[in-house]
Amino acid sequence: MKNGNLSQNGEVCIEVSGLWKVFGSDAKEIINSEKRTASKESLLEETGCVLAVRDVSFQVNRGELFVIMGLSGSGKSTLIRCILRLIEPTAGKVLIDGEDICGYKSKRLIELRRHTTGMIFQYFGLFPHRSVLDNVAYGLKVRGVAREERYARAREVIAKVGLKEWESYPPSALSGGMQQRVGIARALATDPEILLMDEPFSGLDPLIRRQMQDELLNIQAEVQKTILFVTHDLDEALKLGNRIAIMRDGGIIQIGTPEEVITTPSDAYVREFVQDASPAKVLTAGNIMEQPNILLYEWQGPKAALHILGTTGLDNAFLVARTGKLLGLVTLKRLVELVQKGGSSLGEALEPDPLTCTPDMLLEDLFPLAASTEYPIPVVDDEGKFVGEVYTSTVLGSMIREKTEEAEAEAAKVEAGEVAAEETKTDV
Amino acid sequence: MFEFPEFLSIPLAEWIDAGMSWLLTNWAVFFDAVGSGILFGLLHIERFLLWLPWFVIVLLVGLLAWRVMRLWWAGLLMAVFLVLIGSFGYWDLSMMTLAIIIAAVIISLALGIPTGIIMARSNLVESIIRPVLDAMQTMPSFVYLIPALMFFGLGKVPAVFATIIYAVPPVIRLTNVGIRQVSPDVVEAARAFGSSPQQILFEVQLPLAIPSIMVGINQTTMMALAMVVIASMIGARGLGLEVLLAINRIEVGRGFEAGLCIVLLAIIIDRITHALASRQEYTVQT
Ligand SMILES: Nc1ncnc2c1ncn2[C@@H]1O[C@H](COP(=O)(O)OP(=O)(O)OP(=O)(O)O)[C@@H](O)[C@H]1O
Ligand SMILES: [Mg+2]
C-alpha cells in the first residue's frame, strides 16, 4: 500500500534536472561563473542575489506522492513554483510527461495549467471578491465549463472538504484553516492529473489535518494522481510520502523512501532532521520481520513435526499449506498431546485464534498485538500466504526504547524547567 | 550686472507655436471630427436633461441618493438641494453645466481607465505617463484653455476638451494604483489555474481594483466640475459664465447665487459618487 506503487509503474511524470533559481539582476552570470558553488550567505553578501534553488534534479513517477521537505527558507516554495513556471527558473529543465515546459509558448503553458496541473498555495491565494463557490469553480470557469456544470462540480468538492454551509460566503468570513480547505477544494475541482501542494495542511488543526491526510491517501489509492507535496512536518512527510526529498539552502541533500531517510540519513543535517521521528510511525512489519528457522507443512505427520521441533529446540512453529497459505501456529505442548492421543493431522495441534499481521502494518499498530501473545506474530500477504514472522520481543523492545526516550526527554524538560524556575526565583 | 547670455536662451514658446500650427494644418480634419463628435454627444445630453421635466430629475436624483447612501433623509436632502437650484432660477444653466460635466466625465473614463490599465501592466509605460500626469495636475488650469481654443475655437467643445485634460489624471492614477495593489498571491493563483492575461485582468485585477477606480471616478467628476467654471471663459454657457459675469460686473448677490448653485451641484455629485465608491468593498454576488 504505502510504497507499493512506487516500483510497479516506473513511468516518469515530472522530471526536473539541473534547476536553478537565483533572485537578482545578474542571476544568469552567477550560475555560469565559479560563484555557483558559493554559499547562500556569501552570495547574498557579495552580489545581493538570493539563491533560492541550487542545481536540483529529481524525478517523480506517475502515481507517486513525492514529498519535498526542508526548513523555512530552504527553497521549497520556489522550487514548486518553478515547476509551473509561475517563477521562471534561472537555469535547468522541467519535463512534464516528457515535454520540456520551459520551451512552451504562453498558450501551451496556459493549456498545461488548465488541464493537467492543479496547485494549492501555502498562503491560500483565494480570490477575496468571490464567494467560496466561485473560488472553487474558478479553474473550471477559465477552462470554459458552463455555469451549471461547474457549480455542480464545485459543490461536490466543497462538501468533500466539509464547507457545505459556507459556499456563498466570501473567503474573509472563514478561518485560516477553512480558507486552506477552500484552496484545496479549488485545486481538486478541476481533477488535475498532477497536484502541486505547498504546505496544504499546515494551518489545519490536528484532527482535520489527519482527516485530510487520510483523504489524500484515499484519493491516491483510488485515482493515482501524481503529487508533489511540500511540507516541513516530518511526521506528515513520513506518513504520506512514497519518497521524500530533503532540501537545505536550495539544494536537495537526500532523496529516498521514508525508511531510507530514517534508517540511513545521508548526513548529519538529515540525521538531526529525522532524529525525533518515532520509528514506530515509519517502520512496518515488513521492515522488521525475519524468516523463521523452520516451518511445518500440512502434509507432515505429527511425529515428524515433533522430531523437527525437538532437533531445533523450538517450542513452536507455523503450519503452512501446500499453497503457502498460513494455517496457524503449532506449539510443542499441543503437539506432544496430539502424539499421545495418536492423532494423525497436524491441523489438530493448532493454537486457537491465531494473530496475524500484514507487511505494511506500522510498528505502532503492532504494539497491542505483541502485548497479547507470547509467540511470534506471523506476517501474511493479501492472499494469506506466509511471508515472515515478527518477534514480539523486537516489537516490544522498540516500544520500550521509545517510551524511555520520551521519558528521558520529559525528564530533561522538567529538569530544565526546574532550573529555569529556580533561576527566576533567585532573580527575584 | 551680468546679462543672461543670448546664446543660452531657448525659444520654447516659438517651438510650441510652430508645433501647434503644424498640428492645426496637418491634423485639421482630425480635430474637426473629434470636435463634431464631442458636440454631437454633448448636445444630446444637454437636450435630454432639458427635456426631462424638472420634478422627474429631482425625483430620480433623490431616489438614487437614497439607494446608494442607504439613508432616506440623505435622498430627501439631495432632492431639496436640486429644488433650491431651481428656486434661484438657475435650473437650465445648471443642466447645461451638468451636461458638460457628464460628457467630459464619460470621455475621461473612456480614455482614463484603459490608460490606467496599460500603465499598470508595464513599468516602462508607468515611468513615462507618471511625470506627464504630475505635470498635468500642477499646471494652472487656465493653461489648458489655450490649446483647447486653438484646436476647437470658442464654444462648448473646447470647454469639454479642457475639462477632460484637467479631470482625467485621477482616474488614470487610481486605476493604475488599484490594479497594482492587487495582492500578487491572488494574481499568481489565477495564473496557476491557467488564466489568460485577459482573464486575469477581467476576472481578478479589475474587480479587485474597483474600489480604487471608483475613488478615481469621484475625483475626476469633482475636478470636472471645478474646471467647468473656468471653461466658461472660452464660451461654455452655464453656471460658470454667470459667476464670471457677476465678477466682471461686481454683482455680489448674483455671483453668490450662481456660486451657491455650483456648490450644491458639487455636493450632490460628490455625495452620490462617493457613496458608490465606498459601497464597492468586495460585495460578493452569488
Ligand atoms: N520573490 C523573491 N525575491 C527574492 N528572494 C526570494 C523571493 N522568493 C523567495 N525568495 C528567497 O528564496 C529563498 C527560498 O524561499 P522559499 O519561499 O522558496 O522558502 P520555503 O522553503 O518555501 O520556506 P517556508 O517553509 O518558510 O515557506 C528564501 O531565502 C527567500 O528569501
Ligand atoms: Mg514556502
Q: Give the pLDDT confidence of B218-252 residue by residue, as tens digits.
A: 999 999 988 888 888 787 788 888 888 888 888 88
**Which burial class, exposed, middle or buried, applies to A175 when counting CB atoms under 10 A from its CB (0-12, 13-18, 19+)?**
exposed
Residue A428, pLDDT score: 40
| Strand ranges in A87-175 using DSSP code E only, listed in sequence order | 91-96, 99-100, 117-120
**How much of chain B, in percent, has pLDDT values that exceed 90?**
35
Q: What number does the ligand 1 atom closest to the CA of A87 have? A: 1
Distance between CA atoms of A243 and A6, rounded to whole angstroms? 8
Across the interface, of B185, B192, B208, the residue whose CB is closest to A123 is: B185
- The pocket around ligand 1, CB under 6 angstroms, is made up of A 23, 50, 52, 70, 72-78, 122, 232
CB B228 within 8 A of CB B239: yes
Residue B76 is assigned to a structural domain of this protein: no
User: Which chain B residues are Cβ-neighbours of A83 within 8 angstroms?
Assistant: none
Residues of chain A with pLDDT under 50: 1-8, 424-428
Question: Where would I find the H helices in chain B?
Answer: 12-26, 28-51, 54-69, 72-87, 91-121, 123-138, 145-152, 156-180, 184-192, 197-199, 206-231, 239-249, 252-279
Residue B169 is assigned to a structural domain of this protein: yes
Residue A427, pLDDT score: 47
Residue A9, pLDDT score: 54
What is the span of the domain harbouring residue B238? 13-51+88-285
Question: Among A390-394, B71-75, B81-85, which stretch is predicted with the lowest mean pLDDT?
Answer: A390-394
Residue A330, pLDDT score: 87
Question: Atom 16 of ligand 1 has which residue's CA nearest to it?
Answer: A75
Among chain B residues, CA nearest to A140: B193
Taking an 8 Å cut-off on Cβ atoms, the answer to whether B185 and A124 are in contact is yes
Distance between CA atoms of B114 and A78, rounded to whole angstroms? 33
Q: What is the largest CA-CA distance in chain A?
A: 90
Residue B71 is assigned to a structural domain of this protein: no
Residues 6 or more apart whose CB falls under 8 angstroms from that of B118 comprise B125
Predicted-complex ipTM score? 0.78
What's the CATH code of the domain at B190? 1.10.3720.10
Residue A6, pLDDT score: 44
Nearest ligand by distance to the CA of B188 = 1
CA end-to-end span of chain B, whole Å? 77
B195 versus A267: the higher-pLDDT residue is B195
Taking an 8 Å cut-off on Cβ atoms, the answer to whether A138 and B208 are in contact is no
B195 in contact with chain A, both atoms CB, cutoff 8 A: yes
Q: Give the pLDDT confidence of A238-251 residue by residue, as tens digits.
A: 889 999 999 988 99
Distance between CA atoms of A156 and A151, rounded to whole angstroms? 8
Distance between CA atoms of A76 and A231, rounded to whole angstroms? 8
| Cα distances (angstroms) measured from residue A316 to each of A54, A137, A346, A351 | 56, 62, 13, 10
Among chain A residues, CA nearest to B202: A142
Distance between CA atoms of B203 and B193, rounded to whole angstroms? 12
Residue B69, pLDDT score: 86
Q: Indicate the number of domains in chain B.
A: 1
Q: Are strands A65-70 and A12-23 parallel, antiparallel or unpaired?
A: unpaired
pLDDT reading at B66 higher than 60: yes
Residue B70 DSSP symbol:
-
A124 in contact with chain B, both atoms CB, cutoff 8 A: yes
Taking an 8 Å cut-off on Cβ atoms, the answer to whether B192 and A84 are in contact is yes
Mutate which of A20, A23, A247 for ligand 1? The one with the most ligand atoms within 8 Å of its CB, which is A23
Among chain B residues, CA nearest to A186: B193
Residue B168 is assigned to a structural domain of this protein: yes
Taking an 8 Å cut-off on Cβ atoms, the answer to whether A142 and B185 are in contact is no
* CB-CB neighbours of B48 under 10 Å: 12
| Cα distances (angstroms) measured from residue A317 to each of A108, A204, A369 | 63, 48, 18
Q: How far is B48 from chain A (nearest CA, A)?
A: 37
Residue B57 is assigned to a structural domain of this protein: no
Residue B56 is assigned to a structural domain of this protein: no
Residue B285, pLDDT score: 44
| Cα distances (angstroms) measured from residue B17 to each of A9, A79, B222 | 78, 59, 31
B204 in contact with chain A, both atoms CB, cutoff 8 A: yes
Residue A416, pLDDT score: 59
Residues 6 or more apart whose CB falls under 8 angstroms from that of A33 comprise none
Taking an 8 Å cut-off on Cβ atoms, the answer to whether B194 and A139 are in contact is yes
Residue B138 is assigned to a structural domain of this protein: yes
Residue B225 is assigned to a structural domain of this protein: yes
**Average pLDDT across chain B, whole number:** 87
Nearest ligand by distance to the CA of A70 = 1
B198 in contact with chain A, both atoms CB, cutoff 8 A: no
Q: Give the pLDDT confidence of B3-19 residue by residue, as tens digits.
A: 888 888 888 888 888 88
Backbone angles phi, psi at B256, to 5 degrees: -65, -45
